Amino acid sequence: MRAGDQSYWPAIADWLMAAALAVGCTACRAHSAAQNPLEPPPTLPSQAVEPPVQSGIYGFSGAGAPFAEPEGVIGECVWIFDERNHRQIAKGECDERSPGKFRVVLKPGRYVVHGPGGNNSVEVKPGAWVKVESVASLPLAP
pLDDT of residue 52: 80
Domain boundaries, the chain: 1-42, 56-137
Residue 104 to residue 116: CA distance in whole angstroms: 16
CB-CB contact of 117 with 89 (8 Å): no
pLDDT of residue 29: 47
Torsions phi, psi for 138 (to 5 deg): -95, 150
DSSP collapsed to 3 states, 45-108: HHHCCCCCCCCEEEEEEEEECCCCCCEECCEEEEEEEECCCCCEEEEEEECCCCCCEEEEECCC
Its pTM stands at: 0.62
Residue 75 to residue 115: CA distance in whole angstroms: 12
pLDDT of residue 106: 95
Residue 92 to residue 102: CA distance in whole angstroms: 6
pLDDT of residue 53: 79
CATH superfamily assigned to domain 56-137: Immunoglobulins (2.60.40.10)
Residue 22 to residue 70: CA distance in whole angstroms: 67
pLDDT of residue 32: 47
pLDDT of residue 45: 55
Closest CA to 108 of 68, 64, 65, 51: 51
Torsions phi, psi for 40 (to 5 deg): -70, 155
Q: What is the pLDDT along the chain (142 residues), one digit of tens a residue?
A: 555 555 545 555 565 555 555 545 444 444 444 555 556 555 555 555 566 879 999 999 999 988 889 999 999 999 999 999 999 999 999 999 999 999 999 999 999 999 999 999 999 999 999 999 999 998 876 6
Q: DSSP code of 25? A: H
